[in-house]
Structure 1
Amino acid sequence: MRKVLVVFICLCCSLNVFGQDTEAEVVQDTTYWDSGISFGLNFNQASFSGNWKAGGVNSVAFGSIITGKANYAKDKWSWDNQLEMIFGVVKNEGQELRKSNDRIFFDSKVGYKLSDNWNYFGALNFITQFADGFDYGGDEPTLISSFFAPAFLTTGFGLEYKPNEEFALRIAPISPRLTFVNNLNIADNVPENYGVPVGSRIRTEWLAAQIFMTYNKEITENLAINTRYQMFANYETLAFNTIDHRLDITVIAKITQYVDVTFTSINVYDIDMDPGIQFSQALALGILYKVGNKK
């Protein structure tokens, strides 16, 4: 995954450089590309004196977010790539360092235009996390997840409805998925083992369907919202409670050119993880820097 990130960053930076006008060199045509990458960092700290009567816990928190895109469109063909990485930690007094946020997402789609609003497409997306995850409900932390445990590699082939640059809906009646659990010890603490047979590291679901929907909108010059919804259904085990749902929301509000407030939310229903709905959210104030080949 580190190699993928390096290649992706190099691609975005090279596109930005080649798109600049120079008097001495022939300018490379980058009008078919829309690329960019943004980096965000945030830091939060709280401290209290020993006699502070309102109460409180001394804490330090750090978070980071990296998002990137490299989209190509020429004639009837398109190739869209998106990378999103989020990681945060928090240290409360009396406790060890803990994660507050953790996500790796990559999506790549090739499309062929049928009409103004419809395309054929083939796509794959990948989801996992960076670091170990623990359940702190017991006397001792219990390992319940780690890098590539789980990880999901989902493909999709079908039709895409894209009426504008903000909204896109993919309908993939053919959508095989691979689920990885690279740490065999996870099954000791997570009986479902994320759907992977205990003792194995991979589960293959060949007969499946997927719906993938995105809505990315710059509401104002200083406020943007990015949403992504995924539905996955295995034909062989198809039932109302076996259909997976995932909704990701990111809202970014700019305070100044480089200072922003970022809200992130992940909402998941997957019976192979847990019979209930899982959710996480984070709100942070920090700095955000963007680089792109278009103004």
Structure 2
Amino acid sequence: MKKSLVILTLIISFCSIKLFAQEIDTIPINTKGMSIKLKRSPLPSRQSPLNFEPVKIQPYVVNAKVNYWKTKTNVGININQAQFSDNWKGGGVNSIAVGGLLNYKAEYNKNSYSYVSEVILQYGKIKNKDQLQKKTNDRIFWDNKASFQLSKNWFFFGSVNFESQFDNGYSYKTVNGAETATLISKFMGPGYLTESIGFEYKPNKYFSTRIGTGTARQTFVLDTALYRTNPQNFGVTPGKSFRNELAFQVVSAFDKDIFKNTNLKARYAIFIPYEDIAVNRVDHRLDVAITAKINRYMNTSLTGVVLYDRDTDVKVQASQTLALGFAFTFPR
């Protein structure tokens, strides 16, 4: 054992001496005063100056155009049908309902100028057995707005919008078991054309408020005999077909996806006529639509309208629609 330890110690000592000896493998030499000449390079050297000549390169023209327009189209179709046998004890009535929606929006943006045009067309009908056909929805709305940016969130705008309905509207009564219909509205009875200029506040992409300091609204009732079945005649003097009002108008709009595949769209408008400034003469309209996407081609929607307009009725009016159907969006 002792011999092994001695041998191991000698081996380690020998290796250490060899490593130390290998560390010093050069000897410093003082080259001061020595004449040292470098070997001439065998490669040829060029003594003459270099001449650079310009080379003409044909520019590559990219045939690309900037499109400042952005468009979107939504088309929806809703169908509801129910049928019962004559001996069905649960009760019910055969019915069929069809509804359609077209929403088109075009937007132009370039530098500080922008233009937005939006069209909303809605129409629906229901037919119950042994009853008259009735409308479930009917609206024509076309809004156009041009604006110029003044600061980060403020714009100067001018807008024109038109609103009416496609089909005749009736009120229904049952007399002696028979259902009767009375005409109360129709296309361009009423029809509204509104022009407005003012300032718009737009802090983000999904919310905006228009403050129309100079607003004019024309109400059309082209059927001059409509007042016989609708005494209100939408504020137009009986026998006439036109009325003009100057007013102060505020329009707020909200359009955002509040959840995944769920969109909330709302529009509130207040119309204050300069001719008769009173609380009960102020017009209010609120439109709300919640749309949930089920899959690529189907969605469900809940829409509602709250309206107060003394030229139409002295009470608040409201409507609500729940629909399930097919929806198509272009471009996808």
Check whether TM > 0.5: yes
Work out whether 1:242 is the aligned partner of 2:284. no
Q: Distance in 2 between matches of 1:282 and 1:88?
A: 11
Deviation of the 1:27 alpha carbon: 4.5
Which ranges in structure 2 are unaligned for 5 or more consecutive residues? Answer: 1-61
Match of 1:112 in 2: 148
Match of 1:285 in 2: 324
Match of 2:138 in 1: 102
Q: What's the CA shift string for 1:192-213, capped at 9, x where partnerless?
A: 11011111111011x3111111
Q: Distance in 1 between matches of 2:73 and 2:226?
A: 34
Q: Distance in 2 between matches of 1:82 and 1:137?
A: 37
Q: Distance in 1 between matches of 2:239 and 2:330?
A: 45
Deviation of the 1:51 alpha carbon: 2.5
Deviation above 4 Å: which 4+ runs of structure 1?
A: none
Deviation of the 1:138 alpha carbon: 5.3
SS at match of 1:276: coil
Match of 1:132 in 2: 168
| Higher percent of residues as strand | 1
Q: Distance in 1 between matches of 2:315 and 2:328?
A: 37
In the TM superposition, 1:148-163 aligns within 5 A as 148-163=188-203
Identity of aligned residues (%): 41
Deviation of the 1:52 alpha carbon: 2.2
Work out whether 1:208 is the aligned partner of 2:238. no
Match of 2:261 in 1: 222
Q: What's the CA shift string for 1:261-286, capped at 9, x where partnerless?
A: 12221211000000001111111111
Q: CA RMSD in A?
A: 1.4
Q: Distance in 1 between matches of 2:219 and 2:174?
A: 28
Q: Distance in 2 between matches of 1:51 and 1:211?
A: 56
SS at match of 1:273: coil
Q: Distance in 2 between matches of 1:188 and 1:216?
A: 41
Q: Distance in 2 between matches of 1:231 and 1:151?
A: 18
Q: Which has the larger radius of gyration?
A: 2
On the 8 A contact 2:142/2:162 being kept in 1, the answer is yes
User: What is the number of residues matched between the two proteins?
Assistant: 267
Decide which of 31, 41, 63 is 2:99's aligned counterpart: 63
Work out whether 1:73 is the aligned partner of 2:113. no
Decide which of 103, 106, 119 is 1:83's aligned counterpart: 119
Q: Which amino acid aligns with 1:217?
A: K
SS at match of 2:116: strand
Match of 1:39 in 2: 75
Deviation of the 1:35 alpha carbon: 0.9
Q: Distance in 1 between matches of 2:299 and 2:80?
A: 14
SS at match of 2:284: strand
Match of 1:258 in 2: 297
Deviation of the 1:79 alpha carbon: 0.4
Q: Distance in 2 between matches of 1:236 and 1:175?
A: 12
Which ranges in structure 1 are unaligned for 5 or more consecutive residues? Answer: 1-24
Work out whether 1:196 is the aligned partner of 2:236. yes
Work out whether 1:177 is the aligned partner of 2:228. no
Match of 2:6 in 1: none
Decide which of 254, 269, 276 is 2:315's aligned counterpart: 276
Match of 2:129 in 1: 93
Question: Under a length normalisation based on structure 1, what TM-score does the superposition of the two structures give?
Answer: 0.88
Deviation of the 1:185 alpha carbon: 2.3
Q: Which amino acid aligns with 1:203?
A: R
